[in-house]
Amino acid sequence: MKSVRVFITGDVIGVGFRMWTKKNAQNLRITGWVKNVFGGVETVLQGKREDLEKMVQRLKRGPPTSHVKKIELHYEESSGLFERFDIIA
């Protein structure tokens, strides 16, 4: 099990990015969370490396209503704490 923290910047707030991220993560059996932060969106993803790589590729594109300018990846040791994927307000 691996974990990656991702910061996404661009036109990603107010365009359904968090809900889109949750749906895609659940489809890939990835756990973790997503939230809006100053300047963009932050998400922590936990799952199998190949599923995380698929999710990162999806995040680079984002939903059709968004415009992703940049993503930053920070791989971490997996905590194994997440049981599901949540949207944090």
Q: Of these residues, 5, 27, 29, 36, which one is catalytic?
A: 36
| 58 part of the active site | no
Starting at the edge strand found earlier in the chain, the sheet holding 85-88 runs 67-76, 2-11, 40-47, 31-37, 85-88
Q: Please give the residue range of the domain that contains residue 60.
A: 2-88
Number of domains in the chain: 1
| 24 part of the active site | no
Q: List the CATH number of the domain containing 73.
A: 3.30.70.100
Q: Report pLDDT for 18.
A: 97
DSSP state at residue 58: H
Instruction: Give pLDDT tens digits along the chain (89 positions).
Output: 899 999 999 999 999 999 999 999 999 999 999 999 999 999 999 999 999 999 999 999 999 999 999 999 999 887 778 999 999 98
Q: Of these residues, 5, 18, 29, 84, which one is catalytic?
A: 18
Q: Report pLDDT for 80.
A: 79
